[in-house]
Amino acid sequence: MSAISSTPRTSRAPRPHLSSVGWLLVVFVSSAIALFALLYWLTSSYLLHEVDERLRGEVAEFQSIGRTEAVASIDALSRRDVANSRPYGVFDTNGSWLAGNIEHLPPEKYRTPFDYTQARTERRGRVTVHYRGIIVPTTSGLRIVVGHSIDEILVFDRTLVKTLCAGLALTIALAVVCGAALNMMSNRRIRAISKSSREIMSGQLDRRLPTRGTNHDLDRLVSIVNTMLDEIERLVGEVRGVCAGIAHDLRTPMTHLRGGLERVRRRSGTVEDYADSIDTAIGQSDMVLTRFTALLRIAEIEAGGRRASFGWISLDTVLRDVVELYEPLADHRGLSMKIHAPTPVEIVGDVDLLFGAIENLLDNALKFTPSGGAVTLEVRHDGGFPVLQVTDTGPGIDIDERKAVLRPFYRCRGAQADVTAGHGLGLSLVAAIARMHGADFEIHDNRPGCRMLLRFVGD
Amino acid sequence: LASDLPQPIVRSIGRKHRVLVVEDDRNAALEVTAALEDYGFAVEHVSSGHDGLLRAMGGEFDAVVLDRMLPDIDGLSILATLRNIGMRTPVLILSALAAVDERVRGLRAGGDDYVTKPFDGLELTARLNVLLRRHSSAAAPSMLSVGDLTLDASTHLVQRAGQTVELKPREYSLLEFMMRHAGQVVTRTLLFESVWNYHFNAQTNVIDMHIGHLRRKVSLNGRMSAMIHTVRNVGYILNAAD
């Protein structure tokens, strides 16, 4: 039986788009560029700002200076500036030169720093020197210009740009290499995962997606999927078991039924013979129907969660009713039945289904306990949870079979030849009812015998 | 087989009970009609919820067998309408929905019983008989007698030919139910549901043992006739004479 028969749909060609690593790269590189630009802008504007502040401070002193005093001090200042790095100039109202080492009055706005250049003859030839300057009109009607060479700042600027560009290039190169490596690694993992997925889809349900045992995102996802696959494998296995179980279990009564009908057809006896054979046939078909009903009931219980039929029920009362129903059977088998229900125990549930669960547990216990044995039924509170327990003095269930007995149609190895064995659905039904009631179904050793208990731990 | 089941048919001498069957599925309708007619009911069949509601409101039927899922009106709506206008006719809901919830819903909507498809003809008839009996005798008689077996429901005293029969409480309930339906076949499921009041397919061999004990006590340990007979593959019947 193939549970997963559909072939995977061929995915349409995906639109070309950046992988997550690509996007990360773009974001990283653009933020590196922005950071470097900001660094450059802040540094260079800080240095210029310092120069401007000095210029403003200096011209503020000249603002109210007298005419002759101005010419004299500018002349003295410019004489001291041998390197021509801090030139001064004083000009008349009409712009004619009066003193200083600035020869022309620059056509600029007053009191606002500006850039200008001046050619200068040095030993190595004529060079253009860059200056920052400011003009201030004095109260005496003069125009005083103060300059400051910014060549050093410009050199520093160029060095800064070079350094930043080199750093940026290195960063981008590193990012691209790392991104490509990451991309390759994740692609390789995805390829490995998709390969395993295809194998699983092709029917190898025992395969699992590869993990590395790290706490990586992909690893955590893979372990979730693997847990899901475990559950799917279990369910598919169960379905397979049920199908095989149904086929195997129904073949026997159907064969008997067919054989009986065929025999009476061949012999063609009296009306009584026919009536008798029909009765036998009805009995055998009833057996088949009973199994189907039980199977359907399990399916129906497993399909739903909490139902409208749920209400507060007294577990000890239901227990007493079941025991009362089974008293004649226990007497007949020579078994003693004891109830231990010291305090009332109430739970929320479906009274009919719980009756069914207890009935199946008790039926199971009575069936497998040899004559002279004892079956004890108990309800109590254990660790704050209501607990229902059925113990017997029968052969018990091997530890490796305790899970398997909950599967439909599973029969214990020891019970295989036993004619008293039931339809193999009783404990599956109990398990389904337990799940529906949020109860744990536990099977323990009773030494000798078996101890089955339902622990109603809630949803 | 014929010798096993004459009683339900014999019982139908006199006025036949009229049953309305509301069922849209042709095959299911034929099956229900055949089963009910075999056991002495006068059956009328309609296949739509609309007709069913109209006919049922006429009040000329002793019981209604109502399909849960009909093409036009939902079976439960029909039931609710009938109950709202004060119709107390017993209604047996017939449904393919086997879920535990469905039965509860059906009974809450005012249904008297709930049978899931596919059903057994005898089971259906037996249940319908129980409904009719319950409905016709609202005040159940406290003295029951079948042949030389008497049961006093007020004192729980059971006597066979003047001799007191000691019964356990559950055996008493079983006997009372069987005596109230004397001459009718009662199925194991019906007995279990009515006497133990749980709706679960009990292991039938357990019921057989209870009946066995009851039968032994009623026959005064075999000194008198058994009265309670097993109908093979079906259930039991209590008869006055053998």
A304/chain B closest Cα distance in angstroms:
9
Contact A329/B at CB under 8 A: yes
Give the A:B interface size as CB pairs under 8 Å: 68
Give kind and range of the element (H or E) at residue A81: none
Residue A417 has pLDDT above 50, yes or no: no
In Å, what is the CA distance from B4 to each residue of A272, A412, B7, B41?
11, 40, 8, 19
| Helices within chain B (DSSP H only) | 7-11, 26-38, 49-57, 75-84, 100-108, 121-136, 169-180, 188-191, 204-218
Q: Each residue of B147-172: b (16+ CB within 10 Å) or e?
A: bebbbeeeeeebebeeeebebeebbb
Nearest to B198 among A308, A309, A355 (CB): A355
Chain A residue with minimum CA distance to B99: A300
A326/chain B closest Cα distance in angstroms:
6
Per-residue confidence at A42, pLDDT binned at 50, 70, 90? very high
Q: Which of A325, A354, A363 to mutate to test the interface with B (most CBs of B within 10 A)?
A: A325
What's the mean pLDDT in B161-170?
91
pLDDT digits (tens, 9 = 90+) for A165-187: 998 899 889 988 988 898 888 88
Interchain pair B206, A350: CB under 8 A: no
Chain A residue with minimum CA distance to B117: A293
Residue A430 has pLDDT above 80, yes or no: yes
What's the mean pLDDT in A301-314?
77
Separation between Cα atoms, residue B92 and residue B105, nearest integer Å: 13
pLDDT digits (tens, 9 = 90+) for A92-107: 888 888 888 888 888 8
What's the mean pLDDT in B92-109?
80
Chain B residue with minimum CA distance to A326: B206
Residue A447: per-residue pLDDT: 82
* Of residues B14, B1, B8, B31, the one with CA closest to residue B185: B8
CB-based contact B169:A258 (threshold 8 Å): no
| Edge-to-edge strand ranges of the sheet holding B41-46 | B41-46, B17-22, B63-67, B91-95, B113-116
Residue A3 has pLDDT above 80, yes or no: no
A325/chain B closest Cα distance in angstroms:
7
Percent of chain B surpassing pLDDT 70: 89
The tokens describing A338, both together, are 């004891």
Chain B residue with minimum CA distance to A303: B99
pLDDT digits (tens, 9 = 90+) for B221-234: 888 888 999 988 78
B-chain CB neighbours of A363 within 8 Å are 203
Residue A305: per-residue pLDDT: 58
Q: Which of A257, A272, A309, A326 to mutate to test the interface with B (most CBs of B within 10 A)?
A: A309
Let me know how long chain B is: 242
User: Tokens 């622990």 — which residue?
Assistant: A455
What DSSP letter does each residue of A197-219 carry, written as one string?
A: HHHHHTT-TT------SS--HHH
Positive/negative CA dihedral, B187, B193, B194, B196: positive
Residue A357: per-residue pLDDT: 92
Q: Cα-flanking dihedrals φ and ψ of residue A115, to 5°? A: -100, 145
Q: Is the ipTM of this complex over 0.85?
A: no
Separation between Cα atoms, residue A93 and residue A141, nearest integer Å: 6
What's the mean pLDDT in A294-317?
80
pLDDT digits (tens, 9 = 90+) for A342-367: 889 999 988 888 999 999 999 889 88
Query: Which 265-324 residues of chain A touch chain B by CB within 8 A?
Result: 275, 278-279, 282-283, 286, 290, 293-294, 296-297, 300-301, 303-304, 307-309, 321, 324
B-chain CB neighbours of A282 within 8 Å are 232-233
Per-residue confidence at A416, pLDDT binned at 50, 70, 90? very low
CB-based contact A338:A377 (threshold 8 Å): yes
Residue B231: per-residue pLDDT: 87
Chain B residue with minimum CA distance to A283: B233
Residue B98: per-residue pLDDT: 67
pLDDT digits (tens, 9 = 90+) for B30-82: 888 988 888 888 999 999 999 999 998 888 899 999 998 888 888 889 999 99
**A20-62 vs A151-201: helix crossing angle, rounded to 10:** 160
Residue B242: per-residue pLDDT: 55
B2/chain A closest Cα distance in angstroms:
8
Interchain pair A309, B100: CB under 8 A: yes
Give kind and range of the element (H or E) at residue A386: strand A385-391
- Between residues A413 and B160, the one the model is more confident about: B160
Q: Which of A285, A352, A354, A366 to mutate to test the interface with B (most CBs of B within 10 A)?
A: A352
Q: Cα-flanking dihedrals φ and ψ of residue B123, to 5°? A: -60, -45
Q: Quick one: how far is CA A216 from the chain centroid? A: 11
CB-based contact A47:A155 (threshold 8 Å): no
Cα torsion for B81, B87, B90, B94, to the nearest 10°? Answer: -20
Residue A248 has pLDDT above 90, yes or no: no
Separation between Cα atoms, residue B116 and residue B103, nearest integer Å: 9
Q: How many C-beta neighbours within 10 Å does residue A174 have? A: 12
Instruction: Give the angle A297-A284-A255 at the CA atoms, nearest 5°.
Output: 110
pLDDT digits (tens, 9 = 90+) for A265-275: 888 678 888 88
* Of residues B204, B157, B209, B219, the one with CA closest to residue B228: B219
- Between residues B164 and A425, the one the model is more confident about: B164
Interchain pair A329, B206: CB under 8 A: yes
Looking at residue A71, its amino acid is V
SS3 B88: coil
Residue B4: per-residue pLDDT: 44
pLDDT digits (tens, 9 = 90+) for B130-157: 888 887 765 667 888 898 999 998 899 9
Residue A64: per-residue pLDDT: 84
Separation between Cα atoms, residue B71 and residue B49, nearest integer Å: 7
Residue A390: per-residue pLDDT: 93
Residue A378: per-residue pLDDT: 93
pLDDT digits (tens, 9 = 90+) for A373-389: 999 999 999 888 999 99
Chain A residue with minimum CA distance to B212: A328
A-chain CB neighbours of B98 within 8 Å are 296-297, 300
Omega of the bond leading into A328 within 30 degrees of 0 (cis): no
What's the mean pLDDT in A39-59?
90
Separation between Cα atoms, residue A378 and residue A390, nearest integer Å: 6
Percent of chain B surpassing pLDDT 90: 25
Chain B residue with minimum CA distance to A357: B200
Residue A415: per-residue pLDDT: 52
Separation between Cα atoms, residue B82 and residue B85, nearest integer Å: 5
A-chain CB neighbours of B99 within 8 Å are 300, 303-304
What's the mean pLDDT in B82-88?
88
Percent of chain A surpassing pLDDT 90: 24
Separation between Cα atoms, residue A260 and residue A274, nearest integer Å: 10
- Residue A340 pairs with which residues in a beta bridge? A378
Q: Which of B206, B216, B232 to mutate to test the interface with A (most CBs of A within 10 A)?
A: B206
Residue A422: per-residue pLDDT: 62
Residue A307 has pLDDT above 70, yes or no: no
